[in-house]
């Protein structure tokens, strides 16, 4: 939802440029973190088993959630119910929702910081895990990243600064892209098409039913600070915990313009959902590269040029995401109103991907079983 202020009118300004760059970096980083997790899982499986298998896009890691067709169909319905609950009962659930969001953001931001902490602690200490009893075993890098994340969340609760909120939202985006998987192009189309209808309805048509733009109101409504609520409940006095600001929850990225007259806002769903598609095509590009190397570089269909074969699905879809985000921003500036970003992002990402898959002859495989190896039996015979 690029959300401009009508007092300042231009097609693109510094806040939109920041939104473009950050959202693209988050998607790319989250996708490669997801692919790296696949590689790590493969290495662990090779260490634990003497039987070698082909690349499997559906990881066996228990922490990874794969969306199936049923979940893809019902996710927009569940999101609509959650949106209505936040719209009608926000005053009742805002404290619980703020605490739950802060906990999730702490874990997600720790995941975002983990590679940096691993790099910093590698020369100083071995990567041995330290036992904390029933809490589990953790490396020094994991403890450092979690401590920094807790510190950041506490500062955000005390100050409510938009930059800290953006940092937590970035962690949520990367974690969701890395830990949630789309198994096929069919599920991707079902999920993104349903969310497109969800986004369009709640932005454009909810005002006719509820006399208010439900999506914009929920996204921009600040919540009471838990410290302030705790102070009032415990009667700690007027000067204890009363000067903390209300919190804008990290469900979006917010960037101020250079003049400070308005903010550009993009919901994390507009980053995560296309990001899941980009993560899927990146994994498929890697799978296809491995399959081609195993078959000694077998050429593609005869009607496709070599230059077309070299274009990856990931780069094609990423360019489509950028063009769609640019189109959404220009539309919001022209109409001076909030726009459902998925209305532009879904066609600009899915249509080029479907077209390229059809031209390359991969559409049927990507649609149903993209990571299923037909030659698995012969590979096991070779072993």
Least confident of 5-14, 58-67, 115-124, 132-141: 5-14
The DSSP bridge partners found for residue 253 are 266
pLDDT of residue 23: 92
The active-site residue out of 270, 285, 294, 362 is 270
Closest CA to 130 of 148, 146, 109: 146
Q: Are strands 252-256 and 137-138 parallel, antiparallel or unpaired?
A: unpaired
State yes or no: is 199 an active-site residue.
yes
Task: Determine whether 220 is exposed, middle or buried from the number of CB atoms within 10 Å of its CB (0-12, 13-18, 19+).
Answer: middle
3 band by pLDDT with thresholds 50, 70 and 90? very low
For residue 171, pLDDT over 70 is answered with yes
pLDDT tens, residue by residue, 194-213? 999 999 999 999 989 998 88
pLDDT of residue 290: 83
**Percent of the chain surpassing pLDDT 90:** 42
For residue 146, pLDDT over 60 is answered with yes
The active-site residue out of 13, 38, 199, 362 is 199
Q: Are strands 252-256 and 263-267 parallel, antiparallel or unpaired?
A: antiparallel
pLDDT of residue 129: 76
CB 304 within 8 A of CB 376: no
For residue 379, pLDDT over 50 is answered with no
Q: How far apart are CA 270 and CA 66, in angstroms?
A: 19
Output 143 or 258, whichever has higher pLDDT: 143
pLDDT of residue 6: 33
For residue 56, pLDDT over 70 is answered with no
State yes or no: is 13 an active-site residue.
no
pLDDT of residue 352: 93
Q: How far apart are CA 241 and CA 248, in angstroms?
A: 17
Q: How many CB atoms lie within 10 A of CB 297?
A: 7
Least confident of 131-135, 139-143, 266-270, 352-356: 131-135
Output 155 or 227, whichever has higher pLDDT: 155
Closest CA to 335 of 139, 204, 175: 204
57 band by pLDDT with thresholds 50, 70 and 90? very low
Q: What's this model's pTM, rounded to 2 decimal places?
A: 0.85
Question: Average pLDDT, stretch 56-79?
Answer: 80
Q: What is the 3-state secondary structure (H, E, C) of the chain?
A: CCCCCCCCCCCCCHHHHHHHHHHHHHHHHHHHHHHHHHHHHHHHHHHHCCCCCCCCCCCCCCCCEECCHHHHHHHHHHHHHHHHHHHHCHHHHHHHHHHHHHHHHHHHHHHHHHHHHHHHHCCCCCCCCEECHHHCEECHHHHHHHHHHHHHHHHHHHHCCHHHHHHHHHHHHHHHHHHEECCCHHHHHHHHHHHHHHHHHHHHHHHHHHCCCHHHHHHHCCECCHHHHHHHHHCCCCCCCCCCCCECCCCEEEEECCCCCCEEEEECHHHHHHHHHHHHHHHHHHHHHHHHHHCCCCCCCCCCCHHHHHCCHHHHHHHHHHHHHHHHHHHHHHHCCCCCCHHHHHHHHHHHHHHHHHHHCCHHHHHHCCCCCCCHHHHHHHC
Q: How far apart are CA 332 and CA 339, in angstroms?
A: 6
pLDDT tens, residue by residue, 319-352? 999 999 989 888 888 887 788 999 999 999 999 9
CB 161 within 8 A of CB 42: no
What token pair was written down for 294? 């195993």
């Amino acid at each position: 939802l690029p959300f401009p202020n009508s007092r300042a009118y231009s097609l693109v300004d510094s806040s939109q440029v920041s939104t473009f760059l950050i959202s693209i970096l988050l998607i790319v980083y989250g996708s490669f973190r997801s692919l790296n997790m696949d590689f790590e899982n493969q290495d662990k499986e090779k260490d634990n088993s003497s039987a070698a298998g082909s690349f499997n896009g559906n990881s066996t890691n228990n922490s990874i959630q794969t969306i199936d067709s049923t979940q893809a169909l019902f996710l927009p319905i569940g999101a609509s119910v959650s949106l209505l609950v936040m719209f009608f009962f926000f005053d009742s659930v805002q404290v619980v929702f703020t605490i739950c969001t802060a906990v999730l953001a702490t874990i997600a931001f720790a995941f975002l910081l983990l590679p940096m902490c691993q790099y910093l602690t590698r020369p100083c200490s071995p990567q041995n895990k330290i036992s904390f009893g029933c809490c589990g075993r953790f490396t020094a890098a994991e403890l450092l990243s979690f401590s920094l994340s807790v510190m950041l969340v506490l500062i955000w609760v005390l100050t409510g600064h938009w930059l800290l909120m953006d940092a937590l939202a970035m962690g949520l985006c990367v974690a969701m892209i890395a830990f949630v998987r789309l198994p096929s192009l069919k599920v991707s189309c079902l999920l993104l098409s349903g969310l497109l209808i969800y986004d369009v309805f709640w932005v454009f048509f909810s005002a006719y039913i509820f006399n208010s733009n439900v999506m914009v109101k929920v996204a921009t409504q600040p919540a009471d600070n838990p410290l302030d609520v705790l102070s009032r409940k415990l009667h700690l006095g007027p000067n204890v915990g009363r000067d903390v600001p209300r919190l804008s929850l990290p469900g979006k990225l917010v960037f101020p313009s250079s003049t400070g007259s308005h903010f550009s806002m993009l919901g994390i769903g507009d980053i995560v959902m296309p990001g899941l598609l980009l993560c899927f095509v990146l994994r498929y590009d890697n799978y296809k590269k491995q399959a081609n190397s195993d078959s000694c570089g077998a050429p593609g269909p005869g009607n496709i040029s070599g230059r077309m074969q070299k274009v990856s699905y990931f780069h094609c879809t990423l360019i489509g995401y950028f063009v769609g985000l640019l189109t959404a921003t220009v539309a919001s500036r022209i109409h001076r109103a909030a726009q459902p970003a998925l209305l532009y992002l879904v066609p600009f990402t899915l249509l080029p991907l479907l077209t390229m898959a059809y031209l390359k002859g991969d559409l049927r495989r990507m649609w149903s079983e993209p990571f299923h190896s037909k030659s698995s039996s012969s590979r096991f015979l070779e072993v």
